[in-house]
Every structure is written in structure tokens, then in C-alpha cells.
Structure 1
Amino acid sequence: MVSNPRMFWLVLVTAMAAFSAAASAGPELSFGAVAAGVTAGSLVHAGSLIRLALRIHHGRRSFGPCRGAGFLGMGALFTGLGVAATGVAALTPSIAAPGLVAAVTTLVAAPTFLLGLLLLPGTAPTVSARLRRLLDGAGIGVTLCYSVWVLASGPAASALAGPLPLTVAVTCCVAVSVAVVTGLRAVRHRPAAIACAGGAALSIVGLGVFTVLLSALRSPDHPFGPTADWVAAGLVAAGLALIAGPFLIVTGARRADDVPTSPHAADSSGTLAGYPLLVGPALLAIAVSVLHLLTGGRFDRAALGLGFAAVVAVALREALAARDIRSYARVLATREAHFKTLVAGSTDVTVVLDADLVVRWQSPAAARQFSLSDQDVLGRPLTDLLHPADAAPATEALHAVLAGRQHVLVQARLRDGFGRWRDTESTVSDQRAAPEVAGVVVHVRDVGDRAQLQRSLDEATWTDDQTGLANRRKFLASVTEAHRTATADAGSVLVVELDRFESVADLHGPTVANAVLVEAARRLRTGVGRDDLPARLASAGFAVLTDAPLVHAFALATRLATAFAEPFHLPGHTVHLTADVGVADLLGATDAEDALRHADIARRRARQLSRGRDGGRVECYDKSFEAALVRRTDLEQQLPGVVGRGELDLVYQPVVDLVTRRPVGAEALLRWRHPRLGAVPPQEFLPVAEELGLAEELGEWALHQACRQLSRWRGDGRDLWMSVNASARQLAAPGWLATVATAIDTHCVPAESLIVEVAEAALPDDAGAIEQLAGLRALGVRTAIDHFGTGPTALAHLRRLPVDVLKIDQVLFSEPAGQRAPATPIVDVVVGLARRLGIDVVACGLETESHVDVVRAAGCQLGQGFLLSRPDHAEHVEAFLERHRARLF
């Protein structure tokens, strides 16, 4: 296709070669060759433009976007057909005058090109804009023609003396001017519009040159002569212009589409953009006229006609511009009246500042809303009207707007006309780039009612409804502020938790529980200092923020714990509670939540240490507490399901005859080996199992494993007994006896070979425990008290307990550090009493030979300890048993 750049250059080079070859043969043959090349190029490009118009119409289903390309294609078609007809007329003089045919072609093609150019998408979107483009081009073209006509004389003027050549010349000037103005003033797709305008201008100029040259060819009396060399050169130049023009039109038309944009209103309507273009040509025409008069020249009819046409075009454009200005003025007046109405009726105060933040204008609402007159405000910096505490942040925000931020919200107190401070909220925007404003616009709103409502809401939402103390939100906000302003030796946080408060509602009802909380809040409020902040965090959780250092805060916590330990005397009820208190240094935390967490960790540590005590406990935060808490939390998370995961194991420690050093029995000891936590000692995880209610499950597993191992050993001919530890909770469980009986029957072990051990400190002193021990004895299972001597059991109490074995602790036979008094008398008493009661005694914790000597001297025959054998797995204990064949005592 010729619209391809490579094909265009190929056609152009071929045409130039043909034109040059034909030029040497004479003007007529040169014109024939040029006409043939121009006809072919114009028709091909006309076909491209028409196909483009049809494709646009098919895609858009509308005639609007395709009209420009269609009329441009028609212009190229008229050009090709007209040039072809002109060539035929030039070669056959008897048919028609070629100059007349060329003139008609120009007068038809030029308006068609202009119509297509004006209808291209984005060049002139409205009818009024197209009319302005035509008037601008007509004024420029006619004025330039007038100036040239007046300045020219002699042969040039004679060449255009006829009405037809003059008409063609004026038409070409006007058309080229309109094309240039339309391309340069395009609203959208300006490069495409310029390409189309340039192509149309080249085509029109080429047609005009053809008309003039053909007139010269057929005028023997022409002053330049019909065989002048310039005629051939002109024909070649006109042909090249007519070949290049359609190509530029096709290129530009393909780049333009109908995608909507947002041009300026003046550009889109063409009201003001084109008006200054007439100034230059009008001044030139005036200057030429004055010069012509001064040199004694006279104006002929053509000059007068051209001048009149130029005056009419300028007058029409002036009238249209005046109408546009009046219309635009009416629009501005309407907008100004609308703006004044909105500003006058608005409750917001609008203030315009200059670059120095000085008030340049304020809306009338300032007097109505804040009683501020213009003399009170204008010429003063805005920050002078603000509260001193709010002036610096407001200035920073205003400078941020000046630095480039689009919108800023400023909250500040403004002094009104009566000297009162009013809560305001202002939005600031930079409008210095807008010529109508040229300043910083501040919209000020009175938010006093909203601020008061917000303060009331904050007061309501920051207070605990039940106790009247500050709630958690208020407490955290206060801790945050105190942490920010705390000194190096002041500031502490206390967390208080009432123990066993949940049982109050269960036993006495929610009314009594609420009364306890109210009384607890009163005691807390009374116990703290005047500057301290008491708060309620949770159901029975309280907190105190004090500016006292850690030592004084500990004393305050002790007083609070004592106050909460006092009985709560309520109508018809008396409630006894205790409180654990945790204390944390304020500066030892990173933020408010961290400080509260430290105090709560100390409180949880105090609760762990206070179990089994009558009163509460106070603890200060230490990093080791947090590590221990994390460790305990891990145990609580990992302990459930430990039996199913197979992480439990049993190790066995032999019990030997102290005389023969031969094993007579073994104690099964529970162990937990976790893949991540490692080996967890029983004294660490068994209390956690008690709290989680897993003690019975772990005890049952250990009982069955011990009985299974005992069955194996006895099956191998080893006559041993096995002792298994049981907790107080297991002993009190209703199904414990059935569990023991099942284990004995399942693993086929003699009942008397099983001993159930209960630690002395965990031994319940009630009838139920005695009944359970008696039940074990009824099954044939022996019972034992472990670690005797570390608990509160009196020797006389042994008479009531159905116990078969007494395992005495090391504290009864080891000599106290720094003392030389022997422990033998104590062991003598215990062993002697046990012997009289028929109870066997086992000395536990034997670590040295001196320990063995002491207990043997007291008459104790059995022993257990690291000196004799360490706890180990079954296979290692079996090796120990092989070395010491057991026999019953």
C-alpha cells in the first residue's frame, strides 16, 4: 500500500525520475507525466482513506468519527480525477481549456479537504469551533492575498489579472490558512491533525500551482513565455506536492481516533484560542496599505475587493469573539454569584492566606460564626489567632501544604471576637497555582459541640461501669503517657488479681459477686495515693499506675494485698479472698502493653508461689520469671497427649538389703522425654499434670508399665516387689482401687508384690484417704509413705494409717551442715516405732557410707540411693540384678 513509508519513497523516487525525464521533452510532455503520477498516487491514497472511513464506521456504528477520513478521501479522489482530466485537456486542446479544468478541480477539492480536516476527531469538536477556524483562516488568507496583491506589480499581477486565476489564488490562500490554523489549534491528537493539515495544504498548493502553470502554457502572450524553464520545474514541484500531500493525510488520519480527553474549555470550544492569530496579518495589511498610499500607488478593483473581504472576515471574527467574551463573562458572573451564595450560606469559614500565611481574605461567615471582623483578621498571620499550644503544630501543617502536600487537616483552638477559645477543625489546600485564588485556602469549622461530645464519650468509654474505676483503655493510655514522661527513678505498674473470685458467684450468686467487686474497688481506691491511677482490667483483675519507684511500689502492693485479705462483710454473707500482686518498673518496658505484661508475669509468679498459703503474695518482675513462665506454658501445651505420643518412660531404682547388699525390690520412677524440650524432670511436669487433670492418666499408665515389668522379672525367676508412686488426687479418685485391681489381674502379678507409695506432704489427713489405703490393703497391695520426715505427719498418726512400708527421707539421718550432733537418735525413734507397729522401713537417699552406717545402726535393714544404684532403664537394672541375686527379707 502506498501509505507504507518505504512504498511512498519508492513511488516518490520513481515519479521524480519520470518527471525529470519528461521535463527535457517539453512542458506538455512533462505535464502529462506529472499528471499520470499524481493521478495514480491520489487515487491509491483516496482508496486508503475511504477504506479507513468505512472501517471506522463499521467499528463505531456511527458516521461521526468516520466523516473526517471520508471527506479527506473524497478530496484526494477529486484531486486525482481532476488532475487526470487536466492532463487529457492539456494533451487534446480541442476538448477543453486545461487551465479551466485545473481551476475547477482546485475550487472543488480545496473545500472538500477542509471539510474533512474540520470533521476529523479532535480538531474542532463543535460547529462553532469549526466556524471560528474558517473565519480565522479566511481572515489570514484574504489579508495575506491583499498584502501580496498590493505589493506585487508588473508581470506577476498580470498573470493573475483574470477573475478565475484570482479566485483560485484566493481560494488556495484561504484554504491553506484554514488548514494550518486547524492543525495547530487541534484540541486532541495534535500530531495527527498537523499531519493531515500539512497534507491538505500541500495538495491545495499543488493544485493552485497547476492552475497557474497551465494558464501560462496556453497563453502565448504571457510575459514569461510558454517555454520558460520555470514552467517545467514548477510542474515537477507541484507533482511532488500532490504525491506527498495524500500520503501525509493517510498517515495522520490513521493516528487519530475518537478517544475522549479532558481539554480546557476554551480550547474545546475555540472561543479565545484562535483570536490572536488575526493580529499579525491585520497589522501587515494596514502597514502595506499605508506604504502603498505613501508611494503614490492606487488601489484597483481586485485590491479593493480583497480589502473588503479581509475587513468583513476580521469584523465577523471580532463579532464572534465579542460574543464569546460576553458569554464567558456571563458564565464567570454566574459562577461568582453561585460561589458567593454558597460561601455566604455556609457554616464553614473560608480564609485565603498568602505564601507568608498572612490572612488576605475571609468569608462573611467569619463574623457570623466567630464574631471576627475583617479588621481583626486581615493582614495578620493565621497563627496569631490560634492557641499558643496549637500554633506550632498548625504552622508545621501549613508549611507541609506549601511544600507540596495536597490536603492537610488541622485541629486547633481559635480565639473568637469575644476572646474565647473555640475548638476548630480546618482543611487546608494549596491553590496558589489557580489564578482565580492564588493563595492557600483554609476551611475552618467550629467543632466545639463535637469536641464536648467526644470528651463526654471518652469519659464514659474510659470508665468501668461496674466499679467506677478507669477501664483498660484509659489505663493503657495513661501508662503510655507516663512512660513517655517518666524520670529515671519513678514510675511503676501494679497488677492485682483476686484469687478464688469465680467461686463467689457460684456459691453466693452474682449479686454478692458484684458487691465484692464494688468493695474491692473501694479498698483499692482508698489504698492508693492521690496521684495514683487505679483501674479494673478484667473480671477480678485490677491495676494501679503509680509514679513511685519500685521499692515504694512494692510496699504499696503489700498494703493492697493485706487490704484485700480482710474479710468482705456483706449483708448476710462474709467472703474471704486473697490477692496476688505483681509489680513492674515502668522504664523497664518498651511500651504500655509491655509494662502491663511484665506486671502480670510477676503476678502469675506470685500466684504460683502462694498456692497452699493462707494469704496473697507480692512479686516484682524479673526476666527469669518470664523464662519460667514460657517454660511452664510450653509444658501445659505439650503435656496433653503425651501418653499417646509415646514420650513417657519408666526408670527403676533398686531397693537393697543393707546387710547383704542384694536387691529385694525396685521403685518405678516416671520420666518424660520431649523431642524439643528434652528430658523434663518429674518435679517439673507432675504439678502441671495435677493442674491439668492429667495425673490419673499418667498414674494409670505408670502403674500398668510397672506391673508389666514386674511380671517379666518374676517370670524370669526374680522374686522382687515393685513400688509405684501415686498422687493425692489419684488416691482420692473413686476408681483408683478398680484401676489397681485391673492392673494386677491384667499382668498376673501377686498383689503383695506391688507397693503403692504416697508422698507424706501429699497425704490427705481425712477419713477418705484412710479408707482408700485400707482398700488397697484389702486387695493385698501394700502401701507406703514416701519421703517421711518432710511433711506434717506425726509419729502418733502412723497408728491410724493402714501403712506397710515407711520410706524415710535423708533429712532424718544426714547430719545437719555445720553441726556435729549425730542424727542416729532420730532414726532410732522412727525405726523403733515402725518396728513396734509392724511397718517395714526403707532409708531413701543413701549417698555415702556414713549414711548406711547411721541407718544400719538404727536397725534399718533396707536402703535405696545413689550409693547403691542410680535409677536406670530396665535392661540396665536387670544387669544389676544378675550381679546381685535377690532374696526376700
Structure 2
Amino acid sequence: MVSNPRTFWLVLLTAAVALGAAATTGPVLGLYAVLAVVTAGSLAHAGVLIRLALRIHRGRRSFGPCRGAGFLGMGALVTGAGAAAAGVAALTGGTAAPGLIAAGAALTAAPTFLLGLLLLPGAAPTTGARLRRVLDGLGIGISLFACGWMLFPAFAPGGLAVSLTCCVTVSVAVVTGLRAVRHRPAALACSGGAAVSVLGLTGLASVLLDHTGSPWPTGPAFVLAGLALLAGPFLIVTGARRADDRPGQPHAADESGTFAGYPLLVGPAVLGAGVAAYHFLTGGSFDRTTVVLGLCAFGAMAGRELLAARDIRRYAQTLVRREARFRALVSGSTDVAVVLDDDLVVRWQSPAAARQFGLSDQDVLGRPLTDLLHPADATTAAAALQSVLGNPAGRSHVLVQARLRDGFGRWRETESTVSDQRAAPEVGGLVVHVRDVGDRAQLQRTLDEVTWTDDQTGLANRRKFVAAVADARATGACGSVLVLELDRFESVADLHGPTVANAVLIEAARRLRSAAGRDDLPARLTAAAFAVLTDAPLVPAFALATRLATALAEPFHLPGHTVHLTADVGVADLFTAATAEEALRHADVARRRAQQVSRGLPGGRVECYDKGFEAALVRRTEIEQQLPGVVGRGELDLVFQPVTDLTLRQPVGAEALLRWRHPRLGPIPPAEFLPIAEELGLAAEIGAWTLHRACRQLSRWRADGRELWMSVNASARQLADAGWLSMVATAIDTHCVPADAVIVEVSEAALPDDVLAVEQLAGLRALGVRTAIDHFGTGPTALAHLRRLPVDVLKIDQALFNEPAGHRGPATPIVDVVVGLAQRLGIDVIAAGLETESHVDVVRAAGCRLGQGFLLSRPDHAEHVEAYLERHRTRLL
């Protein structure tokens, strides 16, 4: 990235204008214009370099990284000052003074530039590296200058000192740029700029010293010198900007030097010797200058050779130390290193082999490595080694576990790391690092015995059980997984304490061992969950599960306590799942299904896994997650089904039916989500919302002149709630509906015990609310109990009057008895589920006056029911 190209182009444009002015106004003005442009360009770039050095110093708080840019800026400053001084001297009328000033500037700027180059970051990081750069440049520069001096005796533009300094400076600059360890493009740019600047000063001094008359010279040499003085500082600024001042990783050449300098010195030395021989053969003589130059070149080369010899000696010592350290590490390592060829034959082994495994070189070298391994492990190990040989690029490291025969004939458990080092010429094979892991394997087996057993019951834990299931699947034999959980086990600790709970678990584990087969594996999964792995197929496994459920259902007789528990068992086939964990999950799904089916029933239940169970379980889980907050989200709705007078075919009331329309799951029937709502404790909230919405709708209809009553369903848990009666009273008062226009329906199957039922139903009657038993004829309520229950309405189920196809005749005796008894007790009867005219005929023949069903009207929203009511004028019940 060029740091400030505008400065260069501005100076270049000024130079072009100055040269154009010189061509039209005269050589004297041209001289002044060129010197002024050179002065301006050098000083401008010197300012950029000095500011860069100051910025680096402020950022790093150190003079080290900024010295290179600083000295380069001082060199550019000397260049500009020299050009300015030469211009002033020319302006005063001197003839030799401008050239001498330019020569002095060249002699001063050259070492300044070289010092800046050697101090640039990455160019020569150490003092030894800087000395090597200087000696290389001295040898090359003096040799080349001596060749020119011998071939061309007048070869000394600008004087001997200036020319020699220029040649040496350019050589050192080029060597420094080419030998840069880091940031080589930046170092080359700075080196080139310094060399061009020194060449420009040397050319300017030569032109001014050689010119003694007037007018002042403005020839091509003078113009080229001016352009060089313009381009040099620009290149230096560009390179200095690109050099990174941050410290980098040390390079090998920083410490040991660079041995690539030998060809650079050999070439000039051979060239100098050849030119000297030619000069001697052609009759030339060697003056004092030639001799001094030769001695200086020889001294520089000798000094460089001494440094190279010291570097080689130090490098050799470093190699010896590294080799000794490597030998110490290899011989003292507990790992055995073995080198194999492409045929897996051992070509070398480390000295640790004799110490660790008692294997001498005579026992190992020249033999295939697989001959030393256990026959059961040799095939697997050979396949792993061949995989490295066959695909080294994609699989260069593998881990091999095998048993190795040691020098005493014992089998040792080993673990080996294989690395492909065939590309390394020092190795040329596979490197196998072998370590003895026998103690670690024994410790692992001991830990497995401890960590794979449940501390409390002595059964296998979940980790061992899953591993056993995986091993059983790997054998391919048939088998089954049983999962069981003790129901209500949490209440044991709450009622009797943790000591009794622990005793129950221990006794349950004993019963599992006794009931399970000899080859079966019982395990404890969680606090009260157990599992059994059996090799029996599904049908015998089902019989085993039944025995386990029976054994765990027996009372736990403990000192001072007797605990009654049950266990639901799920059974799954071992190979219906893809993994061991999935087989365990299948059995647990079947257990949860058995738990749902057996809820409220005595004893445990056994279920086999079916995919439908899992789908139902997933849907139930989704409903459990979505049900909380259903009232607030507005997803519940009510539909209404009219109750009709069967004689007049006119509606006299309506039943409010709850609906849940989920945006993703779709319509969910109440029979599916209401039991879940009761388990989650949401039944009271949903029931209150249903009652208020039904009373509000009833209030609207009665305000419109429709003398109807409304029935609302309630669960047994709602009736058992102490706040239910007050909530019913609040709903009636809030919506201003007559209490006798509200009927609370309770399913016969959901009725609580007689005492509680009488109290709750009597409380509703005390409020003036009528009560009804829904689906009568499907539950356990006896007809004699109707006399004791405060019930106003009886809804008989379709099962009481649904006759077989083709039946003709009067009502069945059952519906006759139910309707007759209800009329004698003063209880109204509603026939629910009327779907055909024959149903209507049956119930009317039995004396039932009211009915509802799809034949009369389907459940619908309030607006559609209102249209139905408009077509039928209602009467009070």
C-alpha cells in the first residue's frame, strides 16, 4: 500500500514544470529549478519518515522499532539539505563548492541510509545479522569497484571516496533487502530507495565536480541524477509504511545466521581474481589503490568466513544438543517407539522396549509387528495399519488397541498411536508409539464394577443396563426389555420416612431377583423405576412382566409398617428399536400407557409397546403443554344443543357443550382434554369459564323473550371443590338468570361417594339450581339410590333404548322401569342420543316427554341455535 502518493506526484509535476522552464529560460535557471525540486521532494519525504518514526515511538513506547524509519528520514533530510546547499553555493557563483557539497552529502547520507536499513523491523533482527550484511556488502562492493578500477583507470565518478562509498552502499542495501527475514517486499523497497538516493547524490556530485565552467550543466546525466533523487525517498517511504513494527516469531536465521551468503561472495571473488589476472596479463600494473582495495576485499571476505565458521560451529553444537536431548527423551520415555516399513516389518525400536517389555532388538527387528500381537487382535491391528498405508493423506493417525507378547512370554494390554512419517527422509516409515495400559485397564474394570452397580439395591444401574442391552442387540439373539415403576412410592417417604422407603426399595429389588430368570438382568433406572433384560421373546416376556407386577403388588411387611404398592409394567421387543436407548424408551412408553389405563383401578397392569401408544403419548404431552393458559388465549368455545318436547317438537332448553379449537392441533374433544385438565388442576378455571359463558348466553336468550333453561356439565372434582357452590351462585347473580333455569349435569360414572354426592347436590338445590345425572344407565348407580340423591333431572343414555335393527314393538322393559320410577320420584327424564324416529317412538311409548339428539338438532353455535329457536316457539319445562 503506497502511503502518500500525492506527495510524489506533486513533486514529479513540479520537476516537470521546472525542467520545462529550464528548457525555455536557460540552463542556469534549469539548474536552480532541478535542485529546488530535489530539495523539496527529499525534505517532504523526510518529514513523512520522521513523523512515521514518531508515531511508532508513541504507539510502542520504545525507540527500538522506530529507529529504522528515523534514520532513513535523516538520510532523506541530508539528501535534501545537500541539494539545497549545492544550489545556494551555485547561486553565490562558486564553481567547485557545489560539487564538494554534493559529495559531502553523499558521504554523509550513505551510512545514514545503511543504518536505517539495518534497523528496519525484519531486515536484520540481530547485531550478528547486521554485521553479516555489512561484511557481505563490503566484499561485493569493494570487489566490484576494484574490477572497475583495474579495467577503467579513470573509473571514479565524483572522486574515489564518493564512488567507493556509493558502490559499497548499493551492495549492502541490495544484500539487506534480499536477506530480509520478514517483510521482504518492504525491505526491498527501502533498500532500492536508499540505493537510488545514494546513486543520485553520487551522480550529482560527479556532474558538479566535473563541470568547471559556465553555464551550469543541464545534460542527461544531471537530469537522471535529479530523477533518482526524487524517486529514492518515495521508495523509502513506501517500504517503511509497509513494514510491520510489531514483534514477530523469531526466525532460524536470526540466531544461526544465513548460509546462503556464500554464493554472493564467491562470485565477486572469482570475478575480482579473473579481472586481476587479465589486468596482469595485459601488462597492467597494480598501483597502491588497487592493492588497498584488494586487501580490503580480502579482509571483508575473511571476516565473513570467520563469522560463517562460527555460525557453523554453533549450529553443529545446537544439533548435538538437540540430538542428545532427543536421545534422552526417547530412552527415558515410558512409550516404546517402533518404525515399520511398508510391509509392517520392524526396522527400528527405541531403547525403552527392553526396559518396558523386555524385548531386545534380536527379538523384534526384521519381524512383522503382527507376529508380536495376540492372534485375536492381529487382524484388526493389521487392518488399521494398512488403512494408514493405503490412505495417508486422509488418515495419517490411528489408535490401535491390542495385546502384545513381551520378552517373558506374557500378554500385555497395549495402546498404540500410529503416525505416517514416510514422507520424512529421516524416518521413512510408519512410527508406532506403544504404551502399556494394563494397569489402566484393570483399574477401569474395577471402576466398572463399582460404577455399574446401584449402591442402594445392589442391582445394575442404568449405565450397565444400557450397555447390556447394546451387547444383546449386537449378538442378534431375541430378547425383550421390561420397564416398571412403583406407583405412589413418593408418598411412602412422606408418610413413613426415608428409612421405610429405602427398605421398600431393597425388598422390591429382592423380589425382582427372585421373580426374574437366572439369565435375566434386573436393574434400577431411577428412584422408583426398574428394568429387566430378558432373552425371552415378547409372549414369555409378557408372562414374566405379569409375575413381576404380581410380586410387587403383595404388601411390604416392614417392622412397624405395612406398605401397599402396585407396579405398572411396559414390555418392548429388543429389536423394534434402532438403539439400546430407544428400546428402553419403547418399554417406558408401554409402561406409561399401562399407568394411564390402570389409573383408579386396583393392581398393576402390563402393556406391550405399540407405535400407536407413542403417538397417543406424544399427543397427550402436547395437550399437557398447551392446556395451561387456554382460557386466556381465547381458544375455548361453547356450542349448544336444544332439548325438545317430544310431543310438541318444540325446544324447551339447551345443553352447553365445551369445545377446544387449537390453532395447530385442531379441534380437541372434551373427553380428551378435560381429564388432563383435572390432573393439571385446571378443571376449576375451565369450569368457571364454561358456567359464566353459558349463563351469559342464557341471559341474552331470556332477555329476547325465550323462556329456556340451560344445562352445564360438571366433573366430580368440581363438585368436590369447596368453592364450587359459591362460584355457581356468583355466576347466577352476575348474569341475572333465575336459579331454576340452570341445570348442573354430573355424569353417573363420575359421581363421588354417596355422602359427598348428597351434600354437594343438596347444596346446589339449596341455591335453587336444578341437578341432573347424565348418561344414566352406563354407570354403577342403582335405581334404589335415586330416592336418596337430590336429583331433579335424569338423562337416560341411548344404551337403554337402542333396539336391534328390525325390532318392532313397545319400549324395552329397562327404559319402562327407569322412566316409571323417575316419574314416581318426581324426576324429569330426558332421553339423550335420539338419532332415529324409532328411538323417539320407544322413549315416548315409555312415557318420556323430553329428548335431545342429532335427529332433533345437532350442537351448534349460538347464532345458529337462535335461528332454530325462531322456527320453533319454546315452552317452559
- Structure 1 length as normaliser, TM-score? 0.79
Q: 1:415 aligns with which of 404, 411, 418?
A: 404
Contact 2:642 2:651 in 1 (8 A): no
- 5 Å matches for 1:545-564? 545-546=533-534, 549-564=537-552
Q: 1:614 aligns with which of 577, 594, 602?
A: 602
- 5 Å matches for 1:457-856? 457-477=447-467, 479=469, 485=474, 490=478, 492-529=480-517, 532-546=520-534, 549-589=537-577, 591-642=579-630, 647-649=636-638, 651-656=640-645, 660-661=647-648, 666=653, 668-676=655-663, 677-699=665-687, 724-734=712-722, 756-773=744-761, 783-803=771-791, 805-816=793-804, 824-834=812-822, 841-856=829-844
Label 1:763 to 1:140 Cα distance change in 2 as closer, same or farther (>3 A).
closer
Worse overlay, 393-402 or 416-425 = 393-402
Contact 2:586 2:609 in 1 (8 A): yes
Residue 47 of structure 2 aligns with an amino acid whose one-letter code is R
Gaps of 5+ in 1: 23-28, 219-225
Label 1:199 to 1:66 Cα distance change in 2 as closer, same or farther (>3 A).
closer
Show CA shifts across 1:725-764 (max 9, x none).
Answer: 4433344444555666666777777766665544333334
Deviation at residue 20 of structure 1 after TM alignment: 9.4
Q: Residue in 2 aligned with 1:255?
A: 239
Deviation at residue 421 of structure 1 after TM alignment: 2.8
Q: Residue in 2 aligned with 1:284?
A: 271
SS in 2 for 1:421: strand
RMSD: 5.0
Show CA shifts across 1:463-484 (max 9, x none).
Answer: 333233343444445556666x
Q: Residue in 2 aligned with 1:223?
A: none
Label 1:691 to 1:665 Cα distance change in 2 as closer, same or farther (>3 A).
farther
Residue 179 of structure 1 aligns with an amino acid whose one-letter code is A
SS in 1 for 2:523: strand
Deviation at residue 280 of structure 1 after TM alignment: 1.8
Q: Residue in 2 aligned with 1:221?
A: none
Label 1:305 to 1:557 Cα distance change in 2 as closer, same or farther (>3 A).
same
Contact 1:357 1:381 in 2 (8 A): yes
Residue 135 of structure 1 aligns with an amino acid whose one-letter code is L
Contact 2:656 2:710 in 1 (8 A): no
Q: Percent identity?
A: 62
Residue 548 of structure 2 aligns with an amino acid whose one-letter code is L
State the distance in 1 between where 2:833 and 2:190 align: 110
Larger radius of gyration between Structure 1 and Structure 2: 1
Q: 2:314 aligns with which of 327, 343, 348?
A: 327
State the distance in 2 between where 1:787 and 1:522 align: 47
Contact 1:140 1:174 in 2 (8 A): yes
Q: 2:228 aligns with which of 226, 229, 244?
A: 244
SS in 2 for 1:583: strand
Q: Residue in 2 aligned with 1:25?
A: none
Deviation at residue 347 of structure 1 after TM alignment: 4.3
Deviation at residue 322 of structure 1 after TM alignment: 1.7
Whether 1:128 and 2:128 are equivalent positions in the alignment is: yes
Deviation at residue 179 of structure 1 after TM alignment: 3.4
Label 1:436 to 1:389 Cα distance change in 2 as closer, same or farther (>3 A).
closer
Show CA shifts across 1:57-87 (max 9, x none).
Answer: 4324437234431452365257637866997
Label 1:600 to 1:396 Cα distance change in 2 as closer, same or farther (>3 A).
farther
Q: Residue in 1 aligned with 2:179?
A: 185
The number of equivalent residue pairs is 855
State the distance in 2 between where 1:428 and 1:618 align: 56
Residue 378 of structure 2 aligns with an amino acid whose one-letter code is P
Deviation at residue 251 of structure 1 after TM alignment: 1.6
Whether 1:395 and 2:385 are equivalent positions in the alignment is: yes
Whether 1:64 and 2:67 are equivalent positions in the alignment is: yes
Gaps of 5+ in 2: 58-62
Q: 1:73 aligns with which of 52, 76, 81?
A: 76
Deviation at residue 15 of structure 1 after TM alignment: 8.1
Deviation at residue 804 of structure 1 after TM alignment: 5.1
State the distance in 2 between where 1:328 and 1:281 align: 26
State the distance in 2 between where 1:712 and 1:78 align: 107
Deviation at residue 55 of structure 1 after TM alignment: 1.8
State the distance in 1 between where 2:697 and 2:109 align: 117
Residue 130 of structure 2 aligns with an amino acid whose one-letter code is R
Show CA shifts across 1:187-209 (max 9, x none).
Answer: 34434443444455456556667
State the distance in 1 between where 2:723 and 2:358 align: 87
Deviation at residue 350 of structure 1 after TM alignment: 5.3
SS in 1 for 2:259: coil
Label 1:696 to 1:21 Cα distance change in 2 as closer, same or farther (>3 A).
closer
Contact 1:42 1:80 in 2 (8 A): yes
Residue 180 of structure 1 aligns with an amino acid whose one-letter code is V
State the distance in 1 between where 2:854 and 2:736 align: 31
Label 1:525 to 1:37 Cα distance change in 2 as closer, same or farther (>3 A).
farther
State the distance in 2 between where 1:460 and 1:119 align: 67
Residue 51 of structure 1 aligns with an amino acid whose one-letter code is G
Contact 1:728 1:762 in 2 (8 A): yes
Q: Residue in 2 aligned with 1:43?
A: 39
- Structure 2 length as normaliser, TM-score? 0.80
State the distance in 1 between where 2:682 and 2:130 align: 94
State the distance in 1 between where 2:774 and 2:626 align: 28
State the distance in 2 between where 1:384 and 1:549 align: 44
State the distance in 1 between where 2:179 and 2:567 align: 87
Deviation at residue 665 of structure 1 after TM alignment: 5.2
Deviation at residue 244 of structure 1 after TM alignment: 1.0
SS in 2 for 1:582: strand
